[in-house]
Amino acid sequence: MYTLECKFWCFSLTIIIKYTKIKLEDDNMLVNSNRLFDTALKEGYAVPAYNVNSLEWARFILEACNEDKSPTILAITPSSVSYFGGYKIVVSVIKMMIEELGIKIPVVLHLDHAKDFMSCKKAIDAGFTSVMIDASEMSFEDNVELTRQVVNYAKKHDVSVEAELGSLSSDGNYSSYVYSDLEQSYDFVSRTGVDSFAPAIGNVHGFYKGDEKIDFELLGAICKMVKIPLVLHGASGLDDNKLKTAIFCGVTKVNINTDLMYAWSCKVRRFLEENKNAYDPRKIILSGEKEIKKVIHAKNMIIGSKNRI
């Protein structure tokens, strides 16, 4: 019942959204994620968010999504920002890469799982177009307060904000899992003004250990109640049909990282085993390119983002 009501709400909302085909004003444009979510919601698919773990990975993701004509979100954690050398470096590199590679799809540059206000502020000031403030480990009231602080700052710069409620497992199991509460979810979204919401509905970070325990009834109920785009963290390893069901229930953004890391690392290990004298880091890193792109092409097809531009 909840999923059908959620679908009806999504349909009702889309008829009041002015139809505009996504297009880039220039080849070097980074867009706000709200722009992508409106179209995805209307057309019944999800926008992929792929984690960028290196310069090479950014190219792999951009090229694969551009080939698929799929909008994409480049998600970068604070630790990866440090790996790159700083927020301004990330923005400059991504913009130049979009221009040099001739990327024609809309791209969101998203800060993933920031734990404090200053990380979000630095990202926004540097030119990120979306941020996630993850205060889910705090008390509910502290989560609300910190999220609202980020939202207030982000709105002044036309940057979209995602936040999370509940406690997702980081090791693939449910031993300490805390599902999002329905009433709290509504209260949280209402009080913070976030643009998208990542609930804990049985999804986990990393690969799932045993059967996935996705609560689609809860997901549908949250969709119906909060009436904003929902985000699915921990999509790696999730059954394809469950991914599609989650999108039907209101998920508009799907986060994918572990699948890419696993595919790349397996191929690199095989390359090193077969080329024991290899020492050129470029050849080692690039040996996993085809495997990453293969995963991206498959995911774009499953979540319906292919050929949307």
Report DSSP letters for the chain, one per residue: -HHHHHHHHHHHHHTTSPP-----SSTT-B--HHHHHHHHHHHT--EEEEE--SHHHHHHHHHHHHHHT--EEEEE-HHHHHHHT-HHHHHHHHHHHHHHHT--S-EEEEEEEE-SHHHHHHHHHHT-SEEEE--TTS-HHHHHHHHHHHHHHHHTTT-EEEEEESB--SSS--TT-BPPPHHHHHHHHHHH--SEEEE-SS--SSS-SSS----HHHHHHHHHHH-S-EEE---TT--HHHHHHHHHTTEEEEEE-HHHHHHHHHHHHHHHHH-TT---HHHHHHTTHHHHHHHHHHHHHHHT-TT--
The DSSP bridge partners found for residue 230 are 197, 251
Annotated active-site residue in 112, 134, 195, 259: 112
Active site residue 211: no
Active site residues: 112
